[in-house]
Structure 1
Amino acid sequence: MGTAGGRCNSYALTTLWQLDAPLEAVWEAIVHAERWPDWWAGVERVVMLERGDLIGLGARHRYTWKSRLPYRLTFDTRVTRVEPLCLLEGRVEGELEGIGRWRFARAAQLTQVRFDWRVHTTRWWMNLLAPLARPVFRWNHDALMRAGGIGLARYLEARSGDA
């Protein structure tokens, strides 16, 4: 994990998932974030604040995540870019701030999903601990994302593989 912008409370994280599932089904599962708590361990709640246009551009959601560590994070996203079946991007504000970007592709009969997370923390205690706790925060993020990949595969009744 690198730092984004050179600040010790900034994170540049990338997650790769590969699923033996149709691209369309994977896209639908990710686009409908309000259903994530049904299959993604760690996502406690997703509330739709604004629906957005027909393809979801402008949609706003509030997420509450329960990590493996003893804390929760809440933040809002606004979808800022949609390329159906290819790309979904959003601006994040709240206890995390920055950009999240999902990329989707088909390769070798698998759907590949890449999630890039370029955020910084805003909670005072996380910023205070960041110089020492970065490896733990990264481990926590990776555990949540691993749970997401496993949960999505189960939800779609698909085989998953680590990318």
Structure 2
Amino acid sequence: MADYKFCTIWRVEASVSEVWDILCHPDLWPEWWGSLEQIIELKKGDMQGIGALHRYTWKGVLPYRITFDIHVLNITPFCLLEGEASGEVEGRGVWSFSDNGVDTIVRYDWNIRTNTRWMNYLAPLAAPVFRWNHHMVMRDGAKGLARKLGTRVEVY
């Protein structure tokens, strides 16, 4: 397996509540995040959404799709979304939200291992390209979020 650690930071010119209201509904992300082709709900969570299980299919710039499930582990409103991935990738994803007084800072930490044979086989040479593809997917998400909110989103 190949291990990857990604950290993406979005500076959003909007309030935490505005950003949270969009990102806390991943079932609606395909409406504004072009790289996300589909989300299928496999299991409902509790009243807050903890315990939910969704299958995500992503398509980046490269000519492949990746599908994995996310089991929601933790939701702290306006602060944190945390999930565990399984399937073609496994690991943990954490969205954290903070307010710097003017903007919302959204940080996404994605620490995963690939389970797909061809990706693992190519990882010694292609890992930089896979990382670039991930960053392009995250830039696409920032652009979509900016359109959805009618504001600016900077990516770091």
Q: TM-score, normalised by structure 1?
A: 0.92
Tell me by how many angstroms 1:157 deviates: 1.1
1:12 to 2:20 alignment: no
1:142 — aligned with what?
135
1:92 is matched with which residue?
A: 85
Partner of 1:51: 44
Distance 1:33 1:48 in 2: 10
Instruction: Map 1:38-117; keep pairs closer than 5 Å.
Output: 38-117=31-110
What residue identity is the alignment partner of 1:13?
F
CA contact (8 A) 1:99 1:119 kept: yes
Identify which of 13, 25, 40 aligns with 2:18. 25
- Structure 1 stretches of 4+ with a deviation exceeding 2 A read none
1:128 matches 2:121: yes
Q: Which amino acid aligns with 1:12?
A: K
SS of residue in 1 equivalent to 2:72:
strand
Measure how far apart 1:161 and its partner are: 2.2
Q: CA deviation at 1:29?
A: 1.2
Deviations 1:66-102 (A, max 9, x none): 1211100000001101111101100000001000000
- Counterpart secondary structure, 1:90: strand
The two structures, once aligned, show a CA RMSD in angstroms of 1.0
Structure 2 match to 1:4: none
Query: C-alpha offsets along residues 24-64 of structure 1, whole Å, 9 cap, x if unaligned?
Result: 12112111111111111110001122221121111111100
CA contact (8 A) 2:8 2:155 kept: no
Unmatched 5+ stretches in structure 1: 1-6
1:55·1:84 contact (CA, 8 Å) conserved in 2? no
How far the C-alpha of 1:11 sits from its partner, in A, is 0.2
How many angstroms does 1:108 deviate by?
A: 3.5
Taking every aligned residue pair, what percent have the same amino acid on both sides?
A: 48
What SS is found at the alignment partner of 2:21? Answer: helix
Cα distance in structure 1, aligned partners of 2:99 and 2:75: 18
- Alpha-carbon distance in 2 for matches of 1:147, 1:30: 14
Offset at residue 153 of structure 1 (A): 1.0
Provide the C-alpha distance between the structure 2 equivalents of 1:161 and 1:64, rounded to a whole number of angstroms.
25
